[in-house]
Amino acid sequence: MAEDENNKEDGEGENNGPEGFQDGIDGGAGAFRLIDLPIEDELRESYLTYAMSVIVSRALPDVRDGLKPSQRRILVAMNDLNLGPGSKRVKCAKISGDTSGNYHPHGESVIYPTLVRMAQEWNMRSLLIDKQGNFGSIAGLPPAAMRYTEARLSAVAASMLDDLKLDTVDFIRRMTKLATNRPCFRAVIPTCLSTAAA
């Protein structure tokens, strides 16, 4: 009995953490701590933070070059493959694979629709992709599979990529040591307007 009281005096078995904290399941010194919060407040704050992060970093075109990150990565991958306006077109499956492997680890199925959109004249006033094959229609018909379509950079896209080798924009390390992600391109034309910020 006396021994139990001594243990209580030493604080054993009690919650000695900061106010609002509770000891973890095992109660040991290295246990995680739980914080009592209204779930509505936590969900609201966490969701809004995540949603804004997605909108700013993925969904909105950058006003500097009028491109979304996914579009920019496709153009960089095509530039790496030397797919300029004067080169031979290659299969979109190759472009999608290189983009996914080097810059955009979210699967080819996500990349190909973005590539297709940059080649559709009813979606973009200034096309960034010079296409060959079935890239869908304004009536809503889907494009052919990526193994059947071919593409290369348009003259507009090539002009945006001309001076990358001269370090005209900052480089950010991403995924691999060899691959870099450009936060924006040098805008030689008002791309944000000419592409309708697709």
* pLDDT of the residue at 177: 45
- The active-site residue out of 47, 50, 112, 148 is 148
Banded pLDDT at 59 (limits 50, 70, 90): confident
Banded pLDDT at 161 (limits 50, 70, 90): confident
Alpha-carbon dihedral sign for residues 52, 57, 58, 59: positive
User: What is 62-194's CATH topology?
Assistant: Topoisomerase II; domain 5 (3.90.199)
Tokens for 42, please give them: 């936590």
**Highest mean pLDDT range out of 41-55, 127-141, 181-195?**
127-141
* pLDDT of the residue at 48: 86
Q: Is 47 a catalytic residue?
A: no
* pLDDT of the residue at 28: 56
Q: Hey, what amino acid is at 164?
A: L
Q: How far apart are the first and last CA of the chain?
A: 75
Over residues 15-30, the pLDDT tens digits come to 454 555 455 555 555 5
- What DSSP character marks residue 145? P
Percent of the chain whose pLDDT exceeds 70: 68
Q: Show me where the domains of the chain are located.
A: 2-35, 62-194
* pLDDT of the residue at 94: 95
